[in-house]
Structure 1
Amino acid sequence: MLYNAYELQRTMMSGAAAWASVGAEMLSNPKLPMGYFGLGPVMASALDVFAHAAAPRGKPAFGIETVTVGGKTHPVTESIVLHRPFGNLLRFEHPGLPANAPKLLIVAPMSGHYATLLRGTVARMAESCEVYITDWADAKLVPASAGKFDLDDYIDYVIDFLDHIGPGAHMLAVCQPSVPAYAATAIMGAKRHPCRPATLTMMGGPIDTREAPTSVNDVAMQQPLSWFENNVVATVPQMYPGAGRRVYPGFLQLAGFMAMNLGSHMMSHYGMFKHMVAGDGDSADSTKAFYDEYRAVCDMTADFYLQTVEHVFQKHSLPKGEFVHRGEVIDLSGIRDTALLAVEGERDDISGIGQTRAALHLASHLPEKSKKYYLAEEVGHYGIFNGSKWRNRIAPVLEDWIAQHSRKSLKVVA
């Protein structure tokens, strides 16, 4: 009933958004005088803001066409190099990269948004690296015949992707995937897998949510797991390929994130409205572009979602040494020659300060010279991986870490 009710509401809002868009265009038409006098400009702007907020959104494109390095602009090629039912492996490369350019796997969050939320991350790192990214599928579009997808499968996908890329690759996990990426690194390290990553960078990741808990952590702890299963898990309707699959809908995740900062989101839309009334189209367009991406959401499987809530936010299985993969407890001491970089934002309201840094302490068999912590001052959660502070302050730290630590220069500690 939950999903069907949402689809009914979405259909109604889509119609209203279409009519609002028509009204805004009519009032903005230079041939119609009503748009120049009285409340015409205000009404046109209000209708446009409503149309944008209520319009349905699909999966955005990365749209990274070029990168500029050393004053030279190079065309970027995006390709699918490995296909899996629940996510593809994408590659971004350009002719300006040297033959020995580092290979970087970016593990995108499976948390309600598409991997394109990391567009700025990919674009910046593509300047110096051959970039790969996990392009997770919308669970409602994956047929039930493809089977389940849980936390174990997520880890397996990461290992398979690294295996496809080959030895010596580097890995970057943004937010939620820090836990499974860390687990995959430990598993591969313990088995001396030839394709274990040379470096693992974790940015704003919930490695140990007992450190500086945020409101997100509090919500996960306030209710038993059964509450989440009974109240936020829904069944995909018949209109989608994944009909019958149990999922945590993306629209619920988006509603939660919007509610966390409702005041700022309302002011952003009010600011967009004022820019449009004043004729400042560029400023309004930048706000629209952000929300076009932010409001584009996808579903995740119920198995993956519930296991993440249970083991990451409630039981803290990883920092307690109780995290299990395929029936075996993960030995974090297996991380012995993968250099770790933990990045946190001073103003992060999703992953508090110390949650990501905990990964450095847990890798007890990794030499201290192979560990680094970076606190990005005056940076919130989104700013860790997007925006000017990411491009100019954080990305150079990551590039330097990658340059310092290749597989050949690392020594195994017995």
Structure 2
Amino acid sequence: MPPFAYELHEISHFALAPARAMTDFAQLWLKSPANPFSYTHVGKKMMATVELFERLTRRYGKPGFGFEATLVGGKPTPIVERVVWERPFCRLIRFERQFDGGDAPQQAKLLIVAPLSGHYATLLRGTVEAFLPFYDVYVTDWADAKTQPLSAGRFDLDDYIDYLVGVCGHLSKTHDGLDLHTLGVCQPAVPLFAAVALMEAEDSPHSPASMTLMGGPIDTRRSPTKVNKLAEERGCDWFKQHCISAVPLGYRGAGREVYPGFLQLAGFMGMNLDRHVNAHLELFNHLVEGDGDSAEKHREFYDEYLSVLDLTAEFYLQTVDTVFVRHRLPRGEMTHRGVKVNPAAIRRTALLTVEGENDDISGVGQTLAAHDLCVNLPDSMKANYLQEKVGHYGVFNGSRFRNQIVPRVLDFHAAGDTAAARMLSVV
């Protein structure tokens, strides 16, 4: 990146502050029920215009999960979020369900490993919500690198794997006799797979009962997408030169080298620019027409989608090099702190892979590749499911995820190492 690129980004945001203040005032005036102009067609267009401007120039903060209750066994059950494990770059959140007296069912633990790829863990809000009735659910809440002072130290892919091993150990130490299942969405597929392989190689008692990998880049040489091809063509040095910047003054992490979240967001938006432009045009039309429900759905999605965080430079560059440029895991060359990651060591942790037919981030076959690496895992403990008519986001969110993918994950966990697991496989 050019020198002071992050500073220029901050300056441009602050330069728009007066205009945003004017739009705030305009919205108050236009939305006032006492203002007859707000009921006219021109007034509605002006109101839609100022809202779009405000939303497109806003700095979106970290969202919350916002769960208040779920249904367990058909009964409404309150939920309390608790941080049960914490390190400088990650908090483990438990969605503790508040049962009355002896009504607590004996349900397994589910660790959902959220991606560290520019968005907050709340991007998996729908994923978490779908599993709350069936598991004691935990999720990794990764920190925004610009909020972590230099004194917090480095954080790279090896540290990420260490964190996952530590979390599995923490959740296994409860000695409640309940299984621990793990689920990695997209980016975590590789470090979760590596963490399990390392635990299995040490015959660790903390190895999870299963790992479900969803839309993950295990082997990006298969059905390579535009994202995969770009990384392989340009190499790690290009990303280091063009994508890394220092956090400016004004943040706790000032001076830390990061891959800024606004760059990742720009990349995602650029991949489907027409779709995002059309979505905002539709929002404008919904606001003018008074279609509150459709407008609110748009707001909810983009409030989440436009909330981004920074990644430490060392984690980003190591991930690009290991996963997308050198393909170290499928080539048998991946190491963790000098120790080889050996997928052949996986013998006890069942494996389920889930892919989306129209995934333009992790192509079909990239996650399925994990099965070829687990040569000593019995076929009865492996299954793959290809979900038709969904893209990358639909693998872990939306109606097809809730109605078709979630039941297969539940059935796989229930099947264990029986013949039922084999029947789930759709390759």
TM-score, normalised via structure 2 length: 0.93
Contact 1:93/1:126 (8 A) holds in 2? no
Structure 1 regions of 5+ residues with no counterpart? none
Deviation at 1:226, TM superposition (A): 1.2
Structure 1 equivalent of residue 404 of structure 2: 393
1:325 aligns with 2:336: yes
Q: Equivalent of 1:49, from 52, 63, 71?
A: 52
Q: Partner of 1:140 in structure 2?
A: 146
Give the equivalent residue in structure 1 for 2:95: 92
- SS for the counterpart of 1:212 is coil
Alignment partners' CA distance in 2, 1:107 and 1:247: 21
Q: Distance in 1 between matches of 2:131 and 2:316?
A: 29
Secondary structure at the aligned position of 2:359 is classed as: coil
- Any idea what the Cα deviations from partners look like across 1:382-411, whole Å, max 9, x if unmatched? 11111111111111111111222289xx9x
In structure 2, the residue corresponding to 1:83 is in which secondary structure? strand
TM-score, normalised to structure 1, is 0.96
SS at match of 1:342: strand
1:60 paired residue number: 63
SS at match of 1:349: coil
* Residue 19 (structure 1) shift: 2.2
> Are positions 1:249 and 2:260 aligned together?
yes
Map residues 2-401 of structure 1 onto 2, 5 A cutoff.
Answer: 2-95=5-98, 98-166=104-172, 168-401=179-412
Q: Post-superposition shift, 1:70?
A: 4.1
Q: 1:314 to 1:28 in 2, by over 3 A?
A: same
Aligned partner of residue 141 in structure 2, secondary structure? strand
**CA separation of 1:192 and 1:346: change in aligned 2, threshold 3 A:** same
CA distance in 1, matches of 2:163, 2:191: 10
Aligned mates of 2:106, 2:285 — CA distance in 1: 50
SS in 2 for 1:116: helix
Q: Distance in 1 between matches of 2:155 and 2:17?
A: 31
What letter matches 1:11 in structure 2?
Answer: F
Contact 1:14 1:56 in 2 (8 A): no
- Looking at structure 1, the residues matched to 367 and 163 of structure 2 have their Cα atoms a distance apart, in angstroms, of 22
Q: Provide the C-alpha distance between the structure 2 equivalents of 1:357 and 1:19, rounded to a whole number of angstroms.
A: 52
> Residues 146 and 254 of structure 2 are in contact (CA less than 8 Å); yes or no, is this contact kept in structure 1?
yes
For residues 285-337 of structure 1, the C-alpha deviation after alignment (integer angstroms, 9 at most, x for no partner) is 11001000000000010000001110100000000000010111111101111
Would you say the 8 A contact 2:89–2:145 is kept in 1? yes
**Deviation at 1:17?**
3.0
Amino acid at match of 1:154: Y
Superimposed CA distance per residue, residues 114-147 of structure 1 (whole angstroms, 9 cap, x where no aligned partner): 0011011111111100011110000010110111
- Give the residue type in structure 2 aligned to 1:164: H
Query: How far apart are the structure 2 equivalents of 1:406 and 1:212?
Result: 30
Task: Check 1:333–1:98 CA distance in 2 against 1; reply closer, same or farther (3 A cut).
Answer: farther
- Cα shift at 1:99: 4.1
RMSD over aligned Cα atoms: 1.7
Q: Report how far residue 69 of structure 1 moved.
A: 3.4
Counterpart-to-counterpart distance in 1, 2:33 and 2:13: 32
Give % identity. Answer: 50
Question: Is 2:73–2:133's contact at 8 Å kept on the other side of the alignment?
Answer: no
> Aligned in 2, Cα 1:372/1:318: closer, same or farther, shift over 3 Å?
same
* Range 262-271 or range 384-393, more displaced: 384-393
Q: Relative to 1, partners in 2 of residues 1:163 and 1:216: Cα closer, same or farther, differing over 3 Å?
A: same
> What is the deviation of 1:34?
2.0
> Offset of 1:53 from its aligned partner?
2.1
CA distance in 2, matches of 1:159, 1:297: 26
